[in-house]
Amino acid sequence: MQHPKRSTLLAISVLAGFALAPLAFSHYDDKEPAQSYRQSWFALMAANFGPMTMMVKGDIPWQENEMAAYADQLAALVTLDVMRGFADGTDKGTTRAKPEIWENKPDFTAKMDDLTKAVNALQTVANQGTDRKAIAEGVAATGQACKACHDEYKSKDYLY
């Protein structure tokens, strides 16, 4: 028998996925599919992680079920192969990605793996829901994993 709370969370996650899908498609450019793929992936990551950080900071009300739903969406996103968006030759075109990604792909890949681990740990504590301090620490760790890539591999100069 499925738990009502789990069913509700699943429904919220599915609805959030549908609601966020336009963000992904808004980045799609058939002339630069790899760049579009990775930009869409990062847009969806931000759309889920942003509200989590806002809850931790107290900018918006803390809602355990929403925190868990956002964490579940992040965990679903990290199962996608974002590295296919960083194939050789995709360092040109409309991108914030610095050439250093392709020059040091093993380090970049390791940082992406660190992000996956942080997101999965965050999902675990967010779905337990009762320990706000642990959730806040998970959000911070995930933010640090994001920042590790941004510092070295994301250009500050871009179209928007």
- Any domain includes 160: no
What residue type is 83 in one-letter code?
M
Segments forming the whole domain that contains residue 54: 4-153
φ/ψ (deg, to 5) at 135 = -65, -45
What CATH number should be reported for the domain holding residue 54?
Answer: 1.20.120.10
Place of tokens 């610095």: 98
How many angstroms from the chain centroid is the CA of residue 92? 23
Note the pLDDT of residue 158: 58
Q: Are 62 and 3 in contact (CB under 8 A)?
A: no
Q: List residues bridging with 97 in a β-sheet.
A: 154
pTM listed for this prediction:
0.79
Whether 127 and 67 have beta carbons less than 8 Å apart is answered as no
Q: Does 159 map to a domain?
A: no
Give me the number of domains the chain comprises. Answer: 1
Q: In the chain, which residues have pLDDT < 70? A: 1-30, 158-160
